[in-house]
Structure 1
Amino acid sequence: MHKDIHCAVVIDCWMNKLGEITFENRPSKFPAFVEDVRKVCGAKEFVFGLEDTRGFGRNLSAYLVGRKFDVKHVNPAYTSAVRLSNPIVYKDDSYDAYCVARVLRDMVDALPDAKHEDIFWTIRQLVKRRDLLVKNNVMNKNTLHNQLMYSYPSYRKFFAEIDGKSALCFWENYPSPEHIQNTTPEQVYVTLKVINQGLKRERIHEIFAMIENDGDTMKNFQEERDFIVKSLVKSIRSNLEQIKEVDVELERIIPLAGYKLRTMPGIDLATEAHLISEIGDINRFPDSDKLARFMGLAPVQFSSAGKGKDERCRNGNRVLNAIFHFLAIQMVAVSKGGKPRHPVFREYFEQKVKEGKNKPQALVCVARRLVRIIYGMMKTKTEYRPFEKTDGKN
């Protein structure tokens, strides 16, 4: 599967190559492709195997599934293994398609059917868009840090967050001390008060005092650097607004999937969207152990001649693995007052440590328990029900 051109190779059960078809990735070309396949196969039955890594073959897959053809999804890892099994490794579209066909022939009963749940695909696209905006904002904030340190050495003490509403308004109107010199604390207060109603005059006077203590930071071409600061502020503000818009769309579409993951403490909108995006239809996993293996959270047996041990898996869906790892950290965290955020998970974590596991291993145990809980919530589409201990009298 490619963005512009698809390549298909037809083989029989003895791996004889019967034909090769190249066609454009346009829905208008799909009927002709099917007819070409019929001409090659004749009266024989045939099955389609699609290796689609970037979604370029989604339209073709939907077309074939909609017309009741047998369509299987071929994992690119299987295709790569077939390609590397050749003594002389080479790669082109024709040979890649032949490798896909070989995998299809050998694993036709084990390969999953190609399914297209538009809601999960759409959520995934929204999540990708949100992640891109967040990544761009991190880059812009880092660049803004670098620019402000030259003009305002004490800028970190001005505001709690560099990208807060008050901070962005300040950087936009006063990108360098030169602009502060031409105004008064009262004028700055009036400017920021429109953005932050809770702002105090004393805070503005403190900022003026810090700027004075920094000394003279003026340099040549200050006007050009001021332009950079203002441009960064506009980009950050625009990204923040777009992230909010994406969140609105996620708020609207996620309930349509039927999952209620946000009822579990520690899972916000972004985390729920990422979980649904990576897991998709929960029914493709027969149990929670399969889901754990999918994300590489289950140990893998490495042995030979009857000797070996279970070792940590470093494969699988690493994005999903990271989500459960950080979620487990939140569940066992302790607040500043020394009170656990989630006593049940904290107790389970401490129990595993007492049993002899180190903290990273105990954290994996917590993550595995979270997998079981979230799997059950998604499978039954129910809300989170916290575990409550009984006193044993009932």
Structure 2
Amino acid sequence: EEEMSAFRDLVRMRSTVVANCSDLQRKLKSKLKIHMPELLKTFRSISSPVLLHLLSVYPSREEILANEEDAVKLLSSHRNWSEEKAREVIDSLKDSIGKPDTFGTYSTITSIFITEIKLLKEHVEALDEEIKKFLQKFPDNPLRTIPGIAEITEAEIVSEVGEINRFSSGKAFVSYIGLDPVIKQSGNMTRGLSISKKGNKHLRKTFYQLAKNLIKNTEKYKNKYEKMIERGVKKKVALVAIARAAAEMVYQLLKNNVPFDLSLS
């Protein structure tokens, strides 16, 4: 129990760091929309290593254009980046519709964002290594046989569930996660079914992600999801149904220590 508690703290810490990093990336994206919106057309992901490298050296449009040739060299030094492509990106900034960094404030703020994002990414990498060491203690974990399951998803389930035998049934396990359906009522009005959300919020989030992976990687879950959508079920409701089915399946895997089988779905 003490070891599993330590593992749970480690995995939850990773979730916190990832959330903080995502928050900073959203704020950085908002600044770029104001100051250099053209970069967002080239870099679809704000976490692009190339974009972060460029902004860590030249955090404003003014600095990029003042060091145009060096900025081109920086971009073209990256894999799959030609000098022609690099120049196109720099040239797009020459007629930017973005707000100028008249007082240097955007440059300062951007530099801080980049520094913090890089540091948080390093923390995630370090935590991933520690998590990987913990997972080696469970070499025959049946969760690894689930198609498309990520290592961090396995870690989240293992650390949050602990001993599966403490749950009397798959239904009890689903209830613990908070994916069990309940009737929503307001006074004398019944407004249909919803999930209880009274269980483990960390596991609930994990099973939403697992449901997405199963829809992507298995025909059975994909077909089940698509049929619900065709019947008019809202996407979020359909995803919850898949997450609930995934929870029941995971319970069977852990309880009986058997590999993934579509018949368990």
CA 1:188/1:321 → structure 2, altered by over 3 Å: closer, same or farther?
A: same
The Cα of 1:353 is off from its aligned counterpart by 7.0
Partner of 1:81: none
Partners of 1:290 and 1:271 lie apart in 2 by: 21
Pairing 1:231-310 to 2, within 5 Å after superposition: 231-257=112-138, 259-300=141-182
Asked whether the 8 Å contact 2:11–2:159 carries over to 1, the reply is yes
Partner of 1:210: 92
Partner of 2:16: 132
Q: 2:66 aligns with which of 178, 182, 187?
A: 182
Pairing 1:95-110 to 2, within 5 Å after superposition: none
Asked whether the 8 Å contact 1:344–1:387 carries over to 2, the reply is no
The alignment status of 1:374 with 2:250, answered yes or no, reads yes
**RMSD (Å) for aligned C-alpha atoms:** 3.1
The alignment status of 1:319 with 2:188, answered yes or no, reads no
Partner of 2:40: 156
Partner of 1:345: 221
* Structure 2: gaps (5+ residues): 185-189
The Cα of 1:198 is off from its aligned counterpart by 2.1
Which range moved further: 289-298 or 212-221?
Answer: 212-221
Q: Which secondary structure does the structure 2 equivalent of 1:256 belong to?
A: coil
Structure 2 length-normalised TM: 0.82
State the structure with more CA Rg.
1
Partners of 1:218 and 1:357 lie apart in 2 by: 48
Corresponding letter in the other structure for 1:344: K
Asked whether the 8 Å contact 2:76–2:86 carries over to 1, the reply is no
Partners of 1:164 and 1:353 lie apart in 2 by: 34
Asked whether the 8 Å contact 1:120–1:281 carries over to 2, the reply is no
Partner of 1:201: 83
CA 1:332/1:296 → structure 2, altered by over 3 Å: closer, same or farther?
A: same
The Cα of 1:134 is off from its aligned counterpart by 0.9
Q: Which secondary structure does the structure 1 equivalent of 2:136 belong to?
A: helix
Structure 1 length-normalised TM: 0.57
Asked whether the 8 Å contact 2:181–2:193 carries over to 1, the reply is yes
Identical-pair percentage: 25
Asked whether the 8 Å contact 2:25–2:117 carries over to 1, the reply is yes
CA 1:184/1:256 → structure 2, altered by over 3 Å: closer, same or farther?
A: same
Q: 2:111 aligns with which of 230, 241, 244?
A: 230
Partner of 2:187: none
Partners of 1:251 and 1:275 lie apart in 2 by: 14
The Cα of 1:284 is off from its aligned counterpart by 0.9
Q: Which secondary structure does the structure 2 equivalent of 1:189 belong to?
A: helix
Aligned length: 257
The Cα of 1:344 is off from its aligned counterpart by 1.4
The Cα of 1:281 is off from its aligned counterpart by 1.5
Partners of 2:17 and 2:30 lie apart in 1 by: 20
Q: 1:165 aligns with which of 49, 58, 75?
A: 49
Which range moved further: 322-331 or 127-136?
Answer: 322-331
Asked whether the 8 Å contact 1:300–1:311 carries over to 2, the reply is yes
* Structure 1: gaps (5+ residues): 1-116, 303-307, 334-340, 389-394
Partner of 1:358: 233
CA 1:176/1:317 → structure 2, altered by over 3 Å: closer, same or farther?
A: same
Q: 1:192 aligns with which of 57, 75, 82?
A: 75
Q: Which secondary structure does the structure 2 equivalent of 1:212 belong to?
A: coil
Partners of 2:124 and 2:165 lie apart in 1 by: 30
Higher helix share: 2
Asked whether the 8 Å contact 2:143–2:253 carries over to 1, the reply is yes
CA 1:369/1:147 → structure 2, altered by over 3 Å: closer, same or farther?
A: closer
Asked whether the 8 Å contact 1:259–1:377 carries over to 2, the reply is no
Partners of 1:328 and 1:265 lie apart in 2 by: 11
